Amino acid sequence: MSTYKILVTGVVQGVGFRPFIFKLADGYGLKGYVTNNSSGVEILINSSENVLHKFLSDIETRCPPLAHILSITHFEIDEIKFEIFAIEPSKVSAGITLVSPDTAICKDCLKEISDPSNRRYQYPFTNCTNCWPRYSIIKSMPYDRPTTTMSKFRMCKECQAEYDDPTDRRFHAQPNACPACGPMVYIGKYAGINAIRETAKIINDGGIVAVKGLGGYHLICDATQNIPVKTLRNLKNRPDKPLAVMCENSTIQKYVNNEPALKLFNSPQAPIVIMNAPDAPISPQANPMSDNIGFVSPYTPLHKILLDACDTDFLIATSGNKKDEPIAKNDREAEKALSGFTSHFLHHTRPIHNRLDDSLATIVDDTPYIMRRARGFAPYPVMLPSSVDGCVLAVGAHLKNTITIAKGKYAFVSQYIGDLDNPDTCDFFEETIEKMKTLYGLEPDRVACDAHPDYHSSKYAKETGLPIQKVQHHVAHMMACMAENGLRDDVLGVILDGTGLGTDGTIWGGEFLMMKDRKISRLLSFPKVMQPGLDGAAKNPGRMLVSYLHHFGLLNKYADTLTSKLFIPEKDIRLTVSMIDRNINCIPTTSAGRFFESLGAAISGITTNLFEAHSAMKFEGLAQSAEDISQDITDVKSDDFYKNLFSYAMEVTNNNDPKEIASRNLHDQIVKKIIFEVEKVQREMGITDIILSGGVFQNILLTQQLQKICDLTIYRHKAIPPNDSCISLGQAYYNTYSKIKNFSS
Ligand SMILES: [Zn+2]
Ligand SMILES: [Zn+2]
């Protein structure tokens, strides 16, 4: 019998790991102990080598659902004789302990809240070590009740007994609670289950209720009734943007047969999953643009009990915020921010420390593709391929902001923060930086930011007084995708994005960037045209279309089409042209985002974007609905390739040809062009690893087709979105390179 020390790292604290080890050791009759240390869990056992290996393999394969093991190491030490197997108190030493993201309610807890004889029957805060609140309630480490927002609730005798029993599912479950001792819900004069019934009654009657959930408030109404959904849509000032729908797994299965999507819907992360469910009896007001709807499961007991209490099987559950503002997190904030939407508030008494939006994902090639990363995923780190010296704070870009704090190989990417153009979101940005620093006990000694000096994030970086590293926007995109895929060098980044300041003072966006021998060069770009109205052009694809046509010398030919088919007034066309010709309020751009939006405007007739990338999304939607066959429009080798795409789009509109097939042809043509360029670089430079990043890769058809057709190795984002939410990760990763040549010749 020898003595072994086993070290486990990853998310292994606060997830029932020690009781799991206790039971496992007990099963093998092993003696020794298990304890938490600052990097994970430490186990000492007396064991034969044979049993040790079975024990190690069980740790990996049978670990608790919320545990995420990064490494297991073991070695033999001098013999110590143990009499029993024990769970020892935590050891404190220097290191980083990972925090578990919040997850959906587990099956065991679900059973309890549905069982009338259980003391937690219909109790909306039922949880255990295998499920739900974590990051949203943790203030600092170590993860103990006093460092969470549960500190003000004193456990009753029964809860305490569960908490103290190593064999119980609630052993050291910090948020452990029951109706006798835990948080409660209330609305007006009603509390507990009566409050939930009252809420259901309002929803059944066609009302809208603001419901405090896990990471913030939702605005909830019956998704099958047109009037409340339309009212909510109008109040949110989102005429065409899809609203998320909450329903049971058993319900969604009747309408969707996409296995990977359903699996993701039902996963512990429980993001909103975009699915096609044309037959679901949901108000068309939920998504007037297409049959695609974001579905989310009732991932907390509160949502589950509420959905059960309602007559409908489908609830709209959209984040409780005004347009472009962060999600509200407490009574006062919510009532102030949401009074325009409703006078009904279902509050609860458990404070939210870290506010989190719902994550949003779709499926590409049978694997999840994340569009917004927050609840369920944050603050789990991305492991960098190489280490950062010291500790770096990367503050991200301007839109879809996230921040990253990196130390060693850990890059802690924050939850989605939002667009930094209003004071509330800027406050949320600073709040998140401070909270992440406290949570992990990290003090950055450097800061990385975008090269754009006017971004709120860049200004913040300057104000920290720390040494600053500026990282060009699209380099950061490429780096983020490299970080996620463990790549260090020799890659070609196909970065198709909306806006980022280039090193030449113009706006870049559709860029082929190469990193070879640690030298970054810009090989190719999308067509460079004038962006009239500067940043405002993103809202005005009709005006950008005029700019492209003018650039390609096609304006005279299609001026009539612009006015008669796309209803762009002649005086607007003249004004745009004169702005461009006299270079007033214009900046040159190679944006791929503007390119797609303009083609989208030409085809779909959407000349004003009511929300970000509106015309481009319509363009993709049209292409998605066409059959999977396409015909060539032009030759990818032609110097007039891009011009020919615009001619084609204008001809289609002029002739009233079917938009769906035309959109599909245009998409396929662009895919072929990208592959043509990429293969040329491969032949000339010997580069075989291709990186896809940038907001345009939220276009699923484009991403999917590229991966399907291209023979080279294509890497796309995995856990982090391809849009500007990845910028902070890229900025942080850039800091791991001590020598890097940036666009030097
Ligand atoms: Zn549970
Ligand atoms: Zn209790």
DSSP codes, 81-107: --SSEEEPPPP--SS-PPPPPP-PPPH
Beta bridge partners of 704: none
CA of 189 to the centre of ligand 1 (A): 30
- Tell me, what DSSP letter sits at residue 267? S
699 confidence band (pLDDT: 50, 70, 90): very high
Alpha-helical segments (H) within 134-212:
157-164, 192-204
CATH class of 529-683+695-707: alpha beta
The domain 185-348 is placed in CATH, from the list 3.40.50.1820, 3.50.50.60, 3.30.70.3450, 3.90.870.40, at: 3.90.870.40
Q: CB of 690 within 8 A of CB of 494?
A: yes
pLDDT digits over 30-86, tens only?
999 999 887 789 999 999 999 999 999 999 999 988 888 989 999 999 999 999 999
At 654, which amino acid appears?
N
Side-chain-facing half-sphere of 611: CA atoms under 13 Å: 14
Q: Which ligand is nearest to the CA of 182?
A: 2
pLDDT of residue 745: 33
pLDDT of residue 307: 98
pLDDT digits over 708-745, tens only?
888 889 999 999 999 999 999 999 999 988 777 766 43
- What are the E-state strand segments in 23-130? 31-37, 40-47, 68-77, 85-87
Instruction: State whether the Cα torsion 286-318-396-332 is positive or negative.
Output: positive
pLDDT of residue 601: 97
CA of 161 to the centre of ligand 2 (A): 9
> Which has the closest alpha carbon to 534: 601, 478, 459, 594?
594
- What are the E-state strand segments in 152-252? 185-187, 190-191, 209-212, 217-222, 245-246
CA of 518 to the centre of ligand 1 (A): 48
pLDDT digits over 512-530, tens only?
999 999 999 999 999 999 9
DSSP secondary structure string for all residues of 329-358? -SHHHHHHHHTTT-S-EEEESSPPSS--PP
CA of 183 to the centre of ligand 2 (A): 10
**Cis amide prior to 179 (ω within 30 degrees):** no
CA of 176 to the centre of ligand 1 (A): 10
Q: Which ligand is nearest to the CA of 157?
A: 2
> Which has the closest alpha carbon to 432: 449, 418, 445, 422?
418
Burial label for 516, CB within 10 Å (0-12, 13-18, 19+), is middle
CA of 213 to the centre of ligand 2 (A): 20
119 confidence band (pLDDT: 50, 70, 90): very high
Cα separation of 593 and 696, whole Å?
A: 6
pLDDT digits over 379-404, tens only?
989 999 988 889 999 999 999 999 99
At 430, which amino acid appears?
E
> Which has the closest alpha carbon to 699: 671, 719, 660, 731?
671
Tokens encoding 621: 């939607």
pLDDT digits over 478-506, tens only?
999 999 999 999 999 999 999 999 999 99
Q: What is the ipTM of this complex?
A: 0.96
Q: Where are the domains of the chain?
A: 2-87, 185-348, 381-484+720-740, 529-683+695-707
pLDDT of residue 93: 55
Does the structural domain 381-484+720-740 have CATH classification 3.40.50.300? no
Q: Which ligand is nearest to the CA of 64?
A: 1
Q: What is the mean pLDDT of the chain?
A: 92
Rounded alpha-carbon distances, angstroms, from residue 474 to 106, 500, 593, 597, 717? 40, 7, 13, 19, 14
Cα separation of 720 and 412, whole Å?
A: 11
700 SS3 class: helix
Q: CB of 370 within 8 A of CB of 359?
A: yes
pLDDT digits over 555-609, tens only?
999 999 999 999 999 999 999 999 999 999 999 999 999 999 999 999 999 999 9
CA of 487 to the centre of ligand 2 (A): 49
Q: Which ligand is nearest to the CA of 106?
A: 1
pLDDT digits over 85-117, tens only?
998 877 655 567 788 899 999 999 999 999 999
Q: Do domains 185-348 and 381-484+720-740 have the same CATH topology?
A: no
Q: Which ligand is nearest to the CA of 127?
A: 1
CA of 176 to the centre of ligand 2 (A): 7
CA of 110 to the centre of ligand 1 (A): 7
CA of 172 to the centre of ligand 2 (A): 14
CA of 169 to the centre of ligand 2 (A): 14
- Answer whether residue 674 shows pLDDT above 80: yes
CATH number of 2-87: 3.30.70.100
44 SS3 class: strand
Beta bridge partners of 148: 138
Burial label for 328, CB within 10 Å (0-12, 13-18, 19+), is buried
CA of 112 to the centre of ligand 1 (A): 9
CA of 411 to the centre of ligand 2 (A): 37
Q: Which ligand is nearest to the CA of 131?
A: 1
Cα separation of 248 and 105, whole Å?
A: 13
**For residues 144, 355, 447 and 470, what is the CA-based torsion angle, rounded to 10 degrees?**
150
Rounded alpha-carbon distances, angstroms, from residue 466 to 447, 705, 739? 6, 44, 20
Mean pLDDT for 162-173 is 90
Q: CB of 439 within 8 A of CB of 138?
A: yes
- Answer whether residue 673 shows pLDDT above 60: yes
CA of 164 to the centre of ligand 1 (A): 17
> Which has the closest alpha carbon to 402: 439, 367, 429, 442?
429
Query: Taking the CB of residue 358, how many other CB atoms lie within 10 A of it?
Result: 27
The whole-angstrom distance between residue 287's C-alpha and the CA centroid of its chain comes to 20
CA of 214 to the centre of ligand 2 (A): 20
45 SS3 class: strand
Q: Which ligand is nearest to the CA of 120?
A: 2
Q: Which ligand is nearest to the CA of 130?
A: 1
